[in-house]
Amino acid sequence: MHYIAFSKEYRRQGLGIWILNKLLDEVADANDYDVVLEVRVNSPAYKFYRRLGFSRVTEILHYEKTLNTDYK
């Protein structure tokens, strides 16, 4: 699985905890899989994963440069 997201109207209802626990219990644990998450530290998901017991292992730096595409 590459991505899980909920529309704003479905957030903060426990759905994320439910689906993640299902995936961890019934798929990852049952098949002895490791789980690796990538999340930006300024994302609300970062705190969510920390509350669920995930620990920060490493930090991936992301560099970005906006290019001027406004040619005259």
Q: How many folded domains does the chain comprise?
A: 1
Q: What is the mean pLDDT of the chain?
A: 82
Q: Is the pLDDT of residue 71 over 70?
A: no
Domain assignment present for residue 39? The answer is yes
| Rounded percentage of the chain residues whose pLDDT exceeds 90 | 0
Going by C-alpha positions, the residue among 58, 53, 17, 24 that lies closest to residue 41 is 58
pTM here?
A: 0.60
Domain assignment present for residue 59? The answer is no
pLDDT in tens, 36-53: 888 888 888 888 888 888
Domain assignment present for residue 68? The answer is no
Please give the backbone phi and psi of residue 45, each rounded to the nearest 5 degrees, phi first. Answer: -65, -30
Domain region containing 39? 8-51
Domain assignment present for residue 45? The answer is yes
Q: Which of 5-9, 14-18, 24-28, 61-65 has the lowest mean pLDDT?
A: 24-28
